[in-house]
Amino acid sequence: MSTMQTGGPSVTSDARTLHGGGALDMPEPDHRLDRIAEHPTFKTLVHERTRFGWILTGLMLVVYFGFIGLIAFDKALLATKVGGTASLGFYMGMFVIVFAFVLTGIYVARANTRYDRLSADLIRSLAK
Amino acid sequence: MIRLVSLLGAGLGLGPVSALAAGPDIGAVQQQATNWPAIFMFLFFVLFTLGITYRAAKGSKSAADFYAAGGGISARTNALAIAGDYMSAASFLGISGLVYSSGFDGLIYSTGFLVGWPIVLFLIAERLRNLGKFTFADVASFRLDQTSIRIISATGTLVVVAFYLIAQMVGAGKLIQLLFGLPYLYAVVIVGALMIIYVAFGGMKATTWVQVIKACLLLGGATFMAGAVLYKYGFSPEKLFATAVQTHPKGDAIMAPGGLVSNPIDSLSLGVGLMFGTAGLPHILMRFFTVSDAQAARKSVFYATGLIGYFYILTFIIGFGGIALLMSDPSYFKLGTDGTTYDKIKDMIGGTNMVAVNLANAVGGPYFLGFISAVAFATILAVVAGLTLAGASAISHDLYAQVFARGRTTEQAEVNLSKASAVGIGIVAIYLGYVFENQNVAFMVGLAFSVAASCNFPVLAMSILWRGTTTWGALIGGLVGLVAAVVMVVLSDAVWVKTFGHPVALFPYANPALFSMPLAFLTIWAVSKIDRTRRGDRERAAFDAQFVRSETGIGASGAHAH
């Protein structure tokens, strides 16, 4: 670790730009990068995770801005009573909070199993 | 509009200030009788955290120790620290006060603050950890020109830190007058001196543990209060709501959206600022470098989202508890000339920001009141320490080491400069806190969030996620976002009319993020597209190396624990 700490800041900006900081921090030459980038497991991992991340991001945006949109444009709907005193808006607000937490939970559960396994597979096959 | 700004301030870490500055009784903050139980409990907190700082200082030698706590913070601890950064005094006092005065509208802030976190997790957190070392500028400049990108990132960081810090210092001074009965200047000096000690001696390790301890105390205290409120109503929220609706002067209206977001554009802009500002706050982004790897970064966001969501539900119950339990009790109000009548909202002793504090007295007696007061002070202290560390890192790690010394410096010199910067920032903060005592600083935290959403976040997101980003694109786009956010706030009602005294605001909305953030993204995209320099080509080609590392962590800075 100490080599990296002293090595990082002392590298001049041009060298870093030319080769990419990542390449410099790694002792391996550039063809190893190509090997990873072209590796089928890497492609699967990146494709799946990126797609999943954007889908969940989209869901969060729709739910939150849907809630804000209703507050902005249809206050009467949110004032509707559900059961006793509590309004529909109150339940929707609570839903947004719980939804945000559940969504992060879904992502973490999938990342801990599927994506971490793909990463481990990738690193194992690169070590061969 | 001004109401929106001041409430934005309230939500964002500025409750006491904004309400006092914007409310009818400006300057009428009366110093209360000295509150000894609160002072003793606070002193105990200070001694305990100084002990932690001493231990952290003994173990902190390298730059990694100073900036990133040696990378040895666990996911759960980091989650508490992130949640602590978020549960500011104003989240606690400001939002419960907002719920007390307007009911449902408090939820708009709670949800807005929370929903930025899933976005951070899905798009930023793991890649940030894989690419960076100490600051988010490390990540943004990974394949781009070090000098240019660090200048724009450090500028964005320092602007955010400066506005946030001024607001917190003024808030601390006002709050301590109310809670402890100490003079304004004492409070500002105490906060400034303690944050210098935590940061300069203990670095990230001490800053993290101060935040974690405070988070536990605050969560514990708030849980007790919400539990006590629900206990009085047989653990039936329905009964609590029914009592609140009967007691509140606005009646049933508190269960529905009110006047907070009368203008749809402003409400959307507020939402954008809250959501994406979170993803660009430098003191929060730094926390992702304190954990060992991307998995830990991922788990910290999950736990933190849970803790923050739980906390906001508590503040909602506390606000409603305040309505149900305090509004009918004249002892919490300044009585009118006839000695019996009072306005249930305007006349609360200390203003509506004191709802949680007064409720602490109502459900737990004077010692619990002292405890909550001490926790509120500790909260400000922990947040300003984090801000100071982020500012000091931008000066030493980004500006000094990479821009001025061009990488030709030693680790020790960099850390020493960082410590000196922390002292400098602390002194400047004390001075500014003193100067701004009677100024309206309500817009400053809103401005900090807008700059974070319009400069830091676009530069970071585009450099990580889009191959086409070049140095020119990121530099000019970040600058445009920064200037646009600042100019729009200056031309808005809060500054142009309220501070400069012009008759009409030139920018019609309170919050610029809806306009300034897309403008920054668009500029980065457009300038990168027309960038035909050879450096630009090299930078696009270097994306592959960055991409592999950001997605896999191969070659990432590992844990630096010794």
Per-residue pLDDT at B260: 67
Q: Which domain holds residue B396?
A: 2-132+157-276+306-443
Per-residue pLDDT at B301: 94
Q: Is the pLDDT of residue A14 over 50?
A: no
Per-residue pLDDT at B347: 84
Per-residue pLDDT at B510: 84
Determine, yes or no, domain membership for B127: yes
Q: Do A86 and B558 touch (CB under 8 A)?
A: no
Determine, yes or no, domain membership for B183: yes
Per-residue pLDDT at B22: 29
Q: Do A108 and B298 touch (CB under 8 A)?
A: yes
Determine, yes or no, domain membership for B18: yes
Q: Do B261 and A119 touch (CB under 8 A)?
A: no
Please tell me the distance in Å from A12's CA to the nearest CA on chain B: 6
Task: Decide if B418 touches A, using CB distance below 8 A.
Answer: no
CB B491 within 8 A of CB B514: no
Determine, yes or no, domain membership for B149: no
Q: Percentage of chain B surpassing pLDDT 70?
A: 92
pLDDT digits (tens, 9 = 90+) for A60-104: 999 999 998 888 888 788 888 887 888 898 999 999 999 999 999
Q: Is the pLDDT of residue A44 over 70?
A: yes
Determine, yes or no, domain membership for B456: no
Determine, yes or no, domain membership for B454: no
Q: Do B545 and A5 touch (CB under 8 A)?
A: no
Determine, yes or no, domain membership for B85: yes
Please tell me the distance in Å from A7's CA to the nearest CA on chain B: 10
Positive or negative, the Cα torsion across B474, B477, B482, B485?
negative
Q: Is the pLDDT of residue B161 over 90?
A: yes
Provide the CB-side half-sphere exposure for B537 (13 A, CA): 3
pLDDT digits (tens, 9 = 90+) for B339-395: 778 888 888 887 888 899 899 999 998 889 889 988 988 888 999 999 999 999 999
Buried b (16+ CB within 10 A) or exposed e, B299-331: bbbbbbbbbbbbbbbbbbbbbbbbbbbbbeeee
Positive or negative, the Cα torsion across B75, B77, B78, B80?
positive
What's the gap between Cα B45 and its chain centre? 21
Q: Is the pLDDT of residue B26 over 50?
A: no
CB B322 within 8 A of CB B96: yes
Q: Is the pLDDT of residue B12 over 50?
A: no
Higher pLDDT, A79 or B117: B117
Two tokens, residue B458: 């676009």
Q: Which residues pair with B348 in a beta bridge?
A: B333
Q: Find the mean pLDDT for residues B203-213.
A: 92
User: Three-class SS string for B402-466?
Assistant: HHHCCCCCCHHHHHHHHHHHHHHHHHHHHHHHHHCCCCCCHHHHHHHHHHHHHHHHHHHHHHHHC
Structural domains of chain B, count: 1
Query: CA–CA distance from A59 to each of A63, B36, B270 (Å)?
Result: 6, 50, 19
- Helices B457-465, B146-179: axis angle to 10 degrees equals 140
| Confidence label for B47 from pLDDT (cuts 50, 70 and 90) | very high
Per-residue pLDDT at B486: 94
Determine, yes or no, domain membership for B162: yes
- The residue among B215, B177, B202, B264 whose CA lies nearest residue B79 is B215
Look over chain B and give the mean of its residue pLDDT values, rounded to a whole number: 86
Q: Which of B1-15, B149-163, B405-419 has the lowest mean pLDDT?
A: B1-15
Phi and psi for B29 in degrees, rounded to 5? -70, 105
pLDDT digits (tens, 9 = 90+) for B449-468: 999 999 999 999 999 999 99
Task: Decide if B121 touches A, using CB distance below 8 A.
Answer: yes
What's the gap between Cα B372 and its chain centre? 20
pLDDT digits (tens, 9 = 90+) for B290-318: 998 889 999 999 999 999 999 999 999 99
CA dihedral B254, B256, B260, B263 (to 10 degrees): -160
Please tell me the distance in Å from B531's CA to the nearest CA on chain A: 16
- CA dist B14 and B315 (Å) reads 16
Per-residue pLDDT at B172: 83
- The residue among B363, B367, B377 whose CA lies nearest residue B332 is B363
Among the partner-chain residues B264, B402, B558, the one whose CB lies closest to the CB of A1 is: B558
Query: CA–CA distance from A72 to each of A62, A68, B152, B259 (Å)?
Result: 15, 6, 35, 10
Q: Where exactly are the structural domains of chain A?
A: 1-28, 39-127
